[in-house]
Structure 1
Amino acid sequence: MTGISQAFPLAALAATRALRQLFPETPLQRNDFLSARYGAEIWLKREDLTPVRSYKLRGAFNAMRKVRTSRPEQRLFVCASAGNHAQGMAFACRHFGVQGTIFMPVTTPQQKIDKTRTFGGENVTIVLEGDYFDQTLAAAQAFCAEQGGHFLAPFDDADVIEGQASVGVEMLEQLGRAPDLVVLPVGGGGLASGVTGYLRAAAPETAFRFVEPVGGASLLGAILEGRPVKLPKVNSFVDGAAVARLGDLTWQRLDWACEADVLLAPEDRICITMLEMLNVEGIVLEPAGAMSVNVLQDIAEEIRGKTVVCVTSGGNFDFERLPEVKERAQRYAGLKKYFILRMPQRPGALREFLTMLGPEDDVSRFEYLKKSARNFGSILIGIETKRAENFAAFTARMEEAAFAYRDITDDEALTEILV
């Protein structure tokens, strides 16, 4: 076991037992819908059902527990986070009766600030600092050094990793046997290194797949380079896993992984899974929490007839984002497109255009942009349909009628400005 001592499984067991004073084990549920779809035994380890709706509480609790045991005089803990780690630390601070100072970017949504404050109560102070996370992190570390606090890292910490390993301990106890495959989301690598560290010792026959968002593949980058590297650009949509650089400690414990072990989930495709799990199963998942389920389609043949556990890592989803999620899902599925139409400036032109829509097509956006010539005007139009193949017939009718158009659905620069 590269980067992991033989004592790690025992430490993971101890962390799991200690967690019981905080909350009961999260459910491991067989999902009939997914099992039928893939012809496999698909189980969901529901980390979206912890008291803070993510697994992050496990690592924060264990790290704080270990520090309080070895240095009981330590009463100030500091972290930098805009999401689940902040909420986990706040909950742990209140449990242990210590003070926590949580630095968040100024741009953090109020809902996340309020939830963190609710979990921590009088035991936490929230400091909004910096427009970008790097600035927030630097401010938190400087404050921590000045005040003599203990900096609680979100993933690159041995005690945090040990706490996250409790997911694997519970999983094995609940299933009563070793699963054939465990699918784990990866951000900084804390959950993945903890769970695999335990299961590789306790269930060596179990295989693993790691899931990263396409726009934040830090584990894949480390595998390809043989060391953690900072990604030049990160898509922040999957905020629970959009990490620019894998941790050094987590890499030491994951350096056995190979390129074939990593699956990449497109951000927009994750939205389809989020909506499906909500509408079909009534399960609320954040983007990172849906990744493990999303990639089952990529390994469908491989998992047929096998027992697979997907870790749904979090359910902190702000429903104000639901329209964006639906939009992304429709565009990925080919059910919604945006066009810039060059509309003739003559009576009846709009009526003529509308006759080109099929019975399953609907106009979801119509905006006059500007006149590009005396006799023509530019129109931004959004079309929704029930079947992706309908668009081929729609564009064919436009071309036959000599309507000039441009499909800008996949033009990131234009849609960012116009849509």
Structure 2
Amino acid sequence: MQDDYIRRILGSSVYDAAIETPLEKMGPLSDKLGRAVYLKREDLQPVFSFKLRGAYNKLASLSADERARGVICASAGNHAQGVAYSATRMGVRSVIVMPTTTPSIKVEAVKRLGGEAVIHGDAFDDARLHALKLCEDENLVFVHPYDDPDVIAGQATIGVEILRQHPSGIAAVYVPIGGGGLAAGVAAFTKFLRPEIKVIGVEPNDAASMKAAIAAGRPVPLNEVGIFADGVAVKQAGEETFKLCQQHLDDIVTVSTDEICAAIKDIFDHTRAIAEPAGAVSLAGLRKHAGTLTGPGAAIAIHSGANINFDRLRHVAERAEIGERAEAILAVTIPERPGAYRAFIQLMGPRAITEFNYRFAPGTNAQIFVGVKLSGGDAEVRTIITELEAHGHRVLDLTDNELAKLHIRYMVGGRVGGLENELLYRFEFPERPGALLRFLEGLRSDWNISLFHYRNHGSDYGRVLAGIQVPPRERAMFEAYLDELGYPHWDESDNPAYRMFLAASD
């Protein structure tokens, strides 16, 4: 199977549409990690993503009769633009089915590139099923985003370029994984030509479908998929890509949202380019994993794409310093008396306070939500906590608490008295008309909404925090309603940040 793929890769037709992208050294990060770090700049492709390679190679492999029929795909992102661009270059009709949640910037990009955008369904699976139906009804050729040998071979040309551009020592290549087409192709070619080079797959820790597949020995669906890095938010790895990744990948590293945001910042600081979250996933994995590499050689990350909505940058900027471990978020109990705040700041010494949230509450103690600038990472956080506790303060480290970072920091001071049976849930609502109404209509009239906080950062989903009063005997019924609703959700009722800042007071 590997020999067949090598022939496909070396015979692939991508350069009629794609360009050979540069391999750029990241000086500051190289100095920081003590190893040469390079970035493969796939954001410089005509559609700002590597997906063009696989799409064009697939279309180039079609017969004249197949091209005359036209092609179709289901995609809300970079694959859609790659197929539309490639088809237009070849004079082939392209139909792109996109769910209603697709941001308008991506729909307009597909139209501008010559594709016929068909908007259908509330989620990607709805769009995929509709695309398959149109494929049959109109006798079109389906172009899979990753689980196709010609698509895999086209993506693998990135690996060919890396090995030619950096013929000297390479310790590891870090590759983002969604469905696995890029990782499968790059790993297959790299291991054929330079088996000593480690090929490390990188996935978001809330969308690690390939890691789950390798652990299970077969592709398995994830129950929930986080979609911050929407370009790699795939619920189940492909069959073909799984076989290749299982055989050729050395390891898979998972990264958090904050670590991805820190990598986006690194890319901007060095290149002044802005990566989409999926585009920075591999660099986030490199930052996290490169310290474990043994022996000499460069570490290389693939910057896979730059199709990001501008208003998502607020969220990225907010979380990047936490991802770099350059900021800590703490909840601290101080005395509720004049001068306590000044005494607390004096304890913090010369450290910069990045955020301070407080509201008066009756009692002898006050709860404050504070952000602190760091220069010494996790070790400095431990030092700060030790110093505060030595002076009698209770401290809770919220730096990795998703509820605190998404919602609590904006709601400090919301404690109320006499509130019974409150459950707290965090949701991802699809960003479309009627999503909130559907949620509300399914609630029983005696399940009172006691808290509601909504945030969106230019994504195709909104982050919602809801408090709902549900009697204990009805909680199984409530859980059944949430499962039927189908929105991703997390029970945060026991989250310590909620207990400290928002839960009902006695």
Q: Taking structure 2 as the reference length, what is the TM-score of the superposition?
A: 0.70
CA 1:336–1:299: 2 relative to 1, 3 Å: closer
Report what 1:114 is aligned to. Answer: 108
User: How far apart in 2 are the matches of 1:170 and 1:105?
Assistant: 34
Match of 2:37 in 1: 42
Cα distance in 2, alignment partners of residues 276 and 236 from structure 1: 21
Do residues 237 (structure 1) and 228 (structure 2) align? yes
Q: Indicate whether 1:140 and 2:138 are aligned.
A: no
Question: Higher mean Cα deviation, 308-317 or 356-365?
Answer: 356-365
Q: Is the 8 A contact 1:41 1:305 kept in 2?
A: no
Q: Does the Cα contact within 8 Å between 1:363 and 1:383 map onto a contact in 2?
A: yes
Gaps of 5+ in 2: 411-506
How far did 1:262 drift?
1.4
- The aligned amino acid for 2:402 is E
Distance 1:300 1:379, change over 3 A: closer
Q: What is the DSSP-based 3-state SS (H/G/I as helix, E as strand, rest coil) of the residue aligned with 1:300?
A: helix
Residue of structure 2 aligned with 1:94, choices 85, 88, 98: 88
Report the CA distance shift for 1:37/1:217 in structure 2 as closer, same or farther (over 3 A).
same
User: CA 1:281/1:353 → structure 2, altered by over 3 Å: closer, same or farther?
Assistant: same
Residue correspondence of structure 1 range 340-379 to structure 2 within 5 A: 344=336, 349=338, 352-357=340-345, 358=348, 359-362=350-353, 364=355, 366=357, 368=359
Give the one of 319, 342, 347 matched to 1:328: 319
Match of residue 175 from structure 1 = 166
User: Could you tell me how far 1:390 is from its partner in structure 2?
Assistant: 6.7
SS in 2 for 1:62: helix
Matched letter for residue 261 of structure 2: C
What is the SS of the residue equivalent to 1:187? coil
Q: What is the Cα deviation at residue 189 of structure 1?
A: 0.7
Q: For the Cα contact (< 8 Å) 2:175–2:200, is it kept in 1?
A: yes
Amino acid at match of 2:85: F
Using the alignment, how far apart are the partners of 1:412 and 1:33 within structure 2? Answer: 29
Q: Residue 258 of structure 2 corresponds to which residue in structure 1?
A: 268
1:8 aligns with 2:2: no
Maintained 8 Å contact 2:17/2:52: no
> Paired residue for 2:272, among 269, 272, 282?
282
**Judging changes above 3 Å, is the alpha-carbon distance between structure 1 residues 203 and 381 closer, same or farther for their aligned structure 2 residues?**
closer
Paired amino acid for 1:9: I
Unaligned 5+ segments in structure 1 are: none
Alignment of 1:199-348 (within 5 A): 199-257=190-248, 261-297=251-287, 298-332=289-323, 333=325, 335-337=327-329, 339=331, 344=336
Determine what percentage of the aligned residue pairs are the same residue.
Answer: 31
State the superposition RMSD in angstroms.
Answer: 3.1
Describe the superposition over 1:175-228 as per-residue Cα deviations: whole angstroms up to 9, x where unpaired. Answer: 346744322111111011112222333333433111112111112111111111
Query: Deviation per CA, 1:259-294, whole angstroms, max 9, x where unpaired?
Result: x61122222112112112212442322222222222
Q: CA deviation at 1:146?
A: 1.8
Q: 1:24 aligns with which of 16, 19, 22?
A: 19
Q: Deviations over 1:367-418 (max 9, x none)?
A: 75xx865x6898774534344637865896599587x886655443455443
Worse-superposed segment, 378-387 or 39-48: 378-387
Cα distance between partner residues in 1 of 2:267 and 2:199: 23
Question: Secondary structure in 2 aligned to 1:67?
Answer: coil
Shift of 1:50: 0.8
1:37 and 1:354 mapped to 2: Cα distance?
Answer: 36
Q: Tell me, what secondary structure is at the counterpart of 1:102?
A: strand
| 2:53 matched residue in structure 1 | 58
Closer, same or farther in 2 for the Cα pair 1:65/1:178, shift >3 Å? farther
> Which deviates more, 231-240 or 351-360?
351-360
Q: Is the 8 A contact 2:67 2:92 kept in 1?
A: no
1 or 2 for the larger relative contact order (CA 8 Å, sep ≥6)? 1
Alignment-derived partner of residue 125 in structure 1 = 116
**TM-superposed deviation, 1:28:** 2.1
1:243 maps to amino acid? V
CA deviations on 1:151-172 (whole Å, 9 max, x unpaired) are 1111011211111111122222
Deviation at 1:59, TM superposition (A): 0.6
Work out the CA distance in 1 between the residues paired with 2:298 and 2:328.
Answer: 36
Note the alpha carbon deviations across 1:14-42, whole angstroms, 9 max, x for none: 21xx3222233111233333333334343
